[in-house]
Amino acid sequence: MLTQQQLKQNVAQAAVDYVLPMLGPDVIVGIGSGSTADLFIDALAQYKDRFLGTVSSSERSTARLQGHGVNVFDLNDVSKVPVYVDGADEIDHGLHMLKGGGGALTREKIVASVADQFVCIVDESKLVDCMGAFALPVEVIPMAREVVARRLRALGGEPRLREGFVTDNGCIILDVAGLRITDPAALEAQVNNIPGVVTCGLFAISPATVALMSTQSGVVQLKPKGL
């Protein structure tokens, strides 16, 4: 029986194998954040001479990349990102994702938005029929904390401040429990439209292009249900 760490290592290597054909001397790779992304960074760094560099979605990932000697570019200086690789806290069969357990959701969403492909890397425990068992992270401007919390309660959620945590953008996180997310794109738009919200952790309006999922019998490739 493979441990969760072994499952993560397997899918990280599978993601490297997936992106290798895309690499070239002028290629910039988008990199997410989190424990599985860390393993992807470690595996990708072995090929750092085969691509120009990366754009990163968190200070944590930037430090890890630079520790491996991988170039990290400011997104403002990059015009093309063929692929973005990141994990998820939950993913459904439409490849809609719930992300932000590590607090980097806004930068993750920004970098993902410029990539031609979003490759989500997960282990099989993250695949769900309906998202919401994992509390939905919402990044909020500090002065709007209670205003946003009231609106989230009105949507049926139970927001709780992530104590002692500040995002790389200087904002706070409200983790919203108690949601059963049957229409993730609609909820994403609704939450994002609350004044004071920077963004929420739903990646549903723009879902993953493909998911690589690590299972006990190997890594499988998932595409949105119906395709």
User: Is 88 a known ligand-binding residue?
Assistant: yes
3-state secondary structure 27-71: CEEEECCCHHHHHHHHHHHHHHHHCCEEEECCHHHHHHHHHCCCC
**108 is known as an active-site residue:** yes
Give the pairing of strands 197-200 and 218-222.
unpaired
Known binder of ligand: residue 132? no
Tokens of 164: 């002692």
The response to whether 101 counts as a known ligand-binding position is yes
64 close to 41: Cβ distance less than 8 angstroms: yes
Write phi, then psi, for 125 (nearest 5 degrees).
-70, -15
Q: Report whether 99 belongs to an annotated binding site.
A: yes
| Residue 49 is assigned to a ligand binding site | no
106 is in an annotated binding site: no
Q: How far apart are CA 150 and CA 68, in angstroms?
A: 44
Is 80 annotated as contributing to ligand binding?
A: no
Catalytic choice (90, 108, 139, 188): 108
Residue 226 is assigned to a ligand binding site: no
Distance CA 181, CA 36 (A): 24
109 is in an annotated binding site: no
87 is in an annotated binding site: yes
Buried b (16+ CB within 10 A) or exposed e, 51-66: bbbbbbbbebbbebbe
Catalytic site positions: 108
Binding site members for substrate: 33-36, 86-89, 99-102, 126
Binding site members: 33-36, 86-89, 99-102, 126
